[in-house]
């Protein structure tokens, strides 16, 4: 079936009890055992399994062309659990501009526990190769990255990882499976903050890890999911599955609008630079053309002329763009990232991240123009 058809049907079935097209929400935390002590329905307790969670995991695995998926209470929890599935003494290579929350997990939680890590520019293959050690077990990439929209060559880094008997995990939140499927380019795991495009309505937090093949690291991740319980609620899973139905239409529209705005902003006198892989002068444009299909995503960042004060002044003047964190919802948002990130952030102080929603692009251009011109 075509991808759009899979979005509507994967993980779903007509409810056998009522004939409802939309699956019911199973709020029960516990499930009846058989008279022989078995679990005839396949569920024991809400922490270890739930029908709504299983439907979402089935759908995500199919959409990413993987064999299995595990969902979590947030995108950070998903990445955290994958890292936690490693052992003390293992080494991880991660992007130097990885989401600041993951940097805090590495530095403040997992490093004291015994995990070793090196942060590098993952767009520099020589730097990635130099960072790999004998105990490297996982390389983490994020492409395009948040918020600087750097593009990493997934297949090239996968080759380096596999030569070292390590796994490659790719955070593909910004493009979503509509525009990029990392498992097809050599990655072993795909990570999503389902909060963003997959759920798509800014009303539910979640995360997911999808694995290409059965492997011991995913087995350990699944154990931690069930025992630790950092899981989404049945309603969260239901909302995310609902969001998947319109994913292709939303992402394609947002991506096209983002390209339109990026091309316009690239010539705006109040902008020093636009960071968007769809622009021909982006350093990762040719790689993005090769590993992304149908567009370059709905997120772009701008470097405002005049420094931090000028950037913050723009956020105070927009009328359609909402000052808010996160991205991927129907509302267009903008955020001064450096002021929310941890000390030591490499995000430029004049950078504003824009999440392009479902408004008409001409209205968004008019709003940005009046804010940029003051």
The 3-state secondary structure of the chain, one letter per residue: CCHHHHHHHCCCCCCCCCCCCCCCCCCCCECCCCCCCCCCCCCCECCCCCHHHHHHHHHHHHHCCCCEEEEECCHHHHHHHHHHCCCCCCEEEEECCCCHHHHHHHHHHHHHHCCEEEEECCCCHHHHHHHCCCCEEEEEEECCCCCCCCCCCHHHHHHHHHHCCCEEEEECCCCHHHHCCHHHHCCCEEEECCCCCCCCCCCCCCEEEEECCCCHHHHHHHHHHHHHCCCCCHHHHHHHHHHHCCHHHHHHHHHHHHHHHHHHHCCCCCEEEEECCCCCCCCCHHHHHHHCCCCCCCEEEEEECCHHHHHHHHHHHCCCCEECCCCCCCCCEEEEHHHCCCCCCCCCCCEEEEECCCCCHHHHHHHHHHHHHC
Q: 130-144, 201-215, 308-322, 330-344: which range is least confident on average?
A: 330-344
% of the chain with per-residue pLDDT over 70: 100
Catalytic residue among 62, 137, 196, 250: 196
Burial class (CB in 10 A: 0-12, 13-18, 19+), 360: exposed
pLDDT, average across residues 301-324: 97
For residue range 82-125, what is the model confidence (pLDDT) as tens digits? 999 999 999 999 999 888 889 999 999 999 999 999 999 999 99
The catalytic position among 12, 45, 47, 242 is 47
pLDDT average, residue stretch 192-218 = 98
Q: In CATH, what class is 248-373?
A: alpha beta
The pLDDT value recorded for residue 198 is 98
What confidence tens digit (pLDDT) does each residue in 10-53 have?
999 899 889 999 999 999 999 999 999 999 999 999 999 999 99
99 is an active site residue: yes
Confidence (pLDDT) at 203: 97
Given the residues 68, 90, 153, 171, the one annotated as active site:
171
Q: State residue 264's pLDDT score.
A: 98
Query: For the chain, what is the mean pLDDT?
Result: 96
Lowest-pLDDT range, 16-25, 53-62, 208-217, 312-321? 16-25
Q: Give the model's confidence band at 152: pLDDT under 50 very low, under 70 low, under 90 confident, else very high.
A: very high
Give CATH for domain 3-244: 3.40.640.10
pLDDT of residue 374: 78
Rounded mean pLDDT, 151-158 = 98
Please tell me the predicted confidence (pLDDT) of residue 174.
98
The domain limits of the chain are 3-244, 248-373
Catalytic site residue from 43, 99, 197, 296: 99
pLDDT of residue 313: 97
pLDDT of residue 98: 86
Which pLDDT belongs to residue 172? 98
pLDDT (mean) for 264-284: 98
Does 133 score more than 80 pLDDT? yes
pTM of the model: 0.96
| pLDDT tops 80 at residue 343 | no
């Amino acid at each position: 079936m075509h991808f759009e058809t899979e979005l509507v049907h994967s993980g779903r079935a007509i409810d056998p009890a009522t004939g409802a097209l939309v699956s019911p929400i199973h709020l029960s935390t516990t499930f009846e055992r058989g008279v022989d002590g078995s679990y005839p329905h396949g569920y024991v307790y809400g922490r270890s399994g739930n029908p709504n969670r299983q439907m979402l995991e089935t759908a995500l695995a199919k959409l990413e062309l993987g064999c299995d998926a595990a969902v979590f209470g947030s995108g950070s929890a998903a990445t955290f659990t994958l890292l936690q599935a490693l052992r003390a003494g293992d080494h991880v290579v991660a992007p130097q501009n990885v989401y600041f929350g993951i940097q805090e997990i590495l530095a403040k939680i997992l490093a004291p526990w015994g995990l070793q890590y090196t942060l590098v520019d993952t767009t520099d293959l020589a730097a990635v190769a130099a960072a790999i050690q004998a105990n490297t077990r996982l390389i983490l990439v994020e492409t395009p990255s948040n918020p600087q929209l750097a593009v990493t060559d997934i297949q090239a880094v996968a080759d380096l990882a596999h030569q070292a008997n390590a796994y490659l995990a790719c955070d593909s939140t910004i493009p979503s499976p509509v525009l990029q499927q990392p498992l097809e380019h050599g990655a072993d795991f795909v990570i999503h903050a389902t909060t963003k495009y997959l759920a798509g309505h800014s009303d539910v937090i979640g995360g997911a890890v999808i694995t290409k093949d059965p492997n011991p690291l995913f087995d350990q991740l699944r154990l931690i999911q069930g025992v630790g319980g950092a899981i989404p609620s049945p309603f969260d899973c239901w909302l995310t599955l609902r969001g998947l139905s319109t994913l292709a239409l939303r992402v394609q529209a947002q991506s096209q609008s983002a390209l339109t705005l990026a091309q316009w902003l690239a010539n705006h006198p109040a902008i020093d630079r636009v960071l968007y892989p769809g622009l021909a002068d982006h350093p990762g444009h040719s790689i993005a053309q090769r590993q992304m299909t149908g567009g370059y995503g709905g997120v772009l960042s701008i470097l405002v002329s005049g420094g931090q004060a000028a950037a913050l002044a723009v956020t105070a003047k927009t009328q359609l763009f909402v000052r808010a964190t996160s991205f991927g919802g129907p509302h267009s948002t903008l955020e001064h990232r450096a002021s929310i990130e941890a000390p030591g952030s490499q995000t430029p102080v004049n950078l504003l991240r824009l999440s392009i929603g479902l408004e008409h692009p001409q209205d968004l251009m008019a709003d940005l123009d009046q804010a940029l011109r003051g």
